[in-house]
Chain A
């Protein structure tokens, strides 16, 4: 087993990985940019190495600096988390050349699957069903337009190196192609360092269902059931759950087997996710393989009881899988809500800034994977994910009620978050009925405004805040800390 692991990431995922390392007794090394000197993941590590300015290209995406940090700290393995270098084949290759273990699949596998067009070709060959579209990147607008004409609009432009909704545009007709191509290519270039794009037929209302797989270096491959990820905004997932309300046992088994087939066709090793689009007639199509730990991996951990990060580390160390397929059982229902720094009332525009107050939910069946704390200034330079709220309960209706309860407890002040929006979505009849598809949020919740709610209570709270001694002058967390006596002295002695 490794003597020290470096986590080449930041935020909630770095914190989550370090927690498992700590449970395994493996010391951790954090890397951080100048903007993240006070970030939570630095506080959770045994050692920290500064790797440069805030700009990702100069820090978290800079292979030389990451490798140097691993050398300097003597880490024998690097966990890349998700995003940044997680699916960068050159980085994995470089680790292999330097004798540092990359906790993820072999670089050659990342390379073939990371090229979305090559991956489509592999799956076609492996008899895994794929969506109609290109198997080569496009070099110009004319080429894209020609393919779009062939398969019919609407089409979806996607980054060849893509993921996470970056570099993606829906094009509904020929007139939109030029701008969409420019935007998608530019976004892909800044997110992945590669501006190549291709197109696929855009399926109107598919469900997005993915299968978690684990494969060791000894030829064992298992699946850990599905995650339903249909609720998205701007092509980015926002609520995930398992099991999927859309699958029956037969379809679940068929998709699980297809995912294992896909992993084997690609020579996959470590944890990976095979994404499928599922139409309303139960037909599913291969979308892509994510060669990393997914943001939404906790829902799988909650229903199976298996720590995916621990399995990743064991596999990377050459150990065999801890479980055979028949030993992996799903129990109950798990739901995850992603908490981003964004304003749900203004088309989800990013909302970086200082967190003035934070109170996270807790209690039975509640898990919070968080990368923030009260007083932390959320940098504008990175992805807006702050934390993930995951709940687990005996069945879906109970999990929904538990999520409602937990969201109502989730206080984040100072920046905007989608908590009130998520609450509205989770409580909606659509969601309760499990009628989720990828356009539900864009269509059913377009131009969302908070429900009228209990504004009267807010007025009373404000008045209390202004009338009470010292109230009304609190601008920054902690500035007036000494003004109030401790709650132990005041509880039971109500203010007038």
Chain B
């Protein structure tokens, strides 16, 4: 069985096959080989036996990522094999750089710019508040404010496009 994975954004190519002896599985990861077997303890807790060493692993799936906690470390696993079956995110990286979206669920405190206004890279655009902390979203590049999709007091979520910026000509590619 093949698992094309991203672990904390790093690609990992995993192959797993049952051992003929029926004594567990053999996993191949890059040039490493592991003999392993497991037992679920509950919905989120799995006891792994890797090369004879017991390792408790804790898992929860949220959207396209699986969070795995092992011994104080958190790993975010994305399964590229599973992702093929899901719709891709709208817009390429180029689109994203023109859109301003909150990094966390938050409330809009102040909007500091107006549609049609020219802004410089790094200029403050919107002040958000989440868990009593204020965060200022700044312009990713120089450009013109094309559209403002939110209002003061609105509750906003990551991925929601609060503001669109038309890049100024000279910075269209890169910067």
Contact = CB atoms under 8 A, between A and B. Distances in A.
Interface residues of B, number: 67
B111 interface: no
Nearest to B3: A463
Interface of B: 1, 3, 5, 7-8, 10, 12, 14, 16, 18, 22, 24-25, 27, 29, 32, 34, 36-46, 48-50, 55, 57-62, 66-75, 77, 79, 103-107, 109-110, 124, 127, 129-136
Contact of A423 (B1, B66, B72): B72
A97 interface: no
B36 A352 contact: no
Interface residues of A, number: 72
B42 A413 contact: no
Given A350-B104, A352-B104, A455 B10 contact: yes
B62 A356 contact: yes
Given A461-B46, A464-B36, 11 more contacts: A191-B132, A234-B133, A356-B62, A420-B72, A450-B74, A455-B12, A456-B12, A462-B68, A462-B79, A484-B40, A491-B41
24 contacts: A179-B124, A186-B109, A186-B127, A187-B133, A190-B129, A350-B130, A350-B133, A356-B67, A357-B44, A357-B45, A408-B72, A411-B69, A413-B44, A420-B74, A457-B55, A457-B70, A462-B5, A463-B1, A474-B44, A474-B61, A477-B44, A491-B39, A494-B24, A496-B24
Nearest to A341: B131
A383 B131 contact: yes
Scoring B5, B39, B129 by chain A CB atoms within 10 A of each residue's CB, the highest score goes to B39
A183 B136 contact: yes
A242 to B, nearest CB: 24
A283 B5 CA distance: 54
Contacts of A474: 43-44, 59-61
Q: Is the interface of A mostly helix, strand, loop or mixed?
A: mixed
A481 B43 CA distance: 6
A484 B43 contact: yes
B3 A462 contact: yes
A495 B27 CA distance: 15
A356 B75 contact: no
A455 B70 CA distance: 9
A467 B44 contact: no
A460 B50 contact: yes
A382 interface: yes
Contacts of B40: 468, 471, 484, 487, 490, 495
B103 A494 contact: no
Scoring B37, B129, B133 by chain A CB atoms within 10 A of each residue's CB, the highest score goes to B133
Contacts of A461: 38, 46, 48, 57, 59, 68, 70
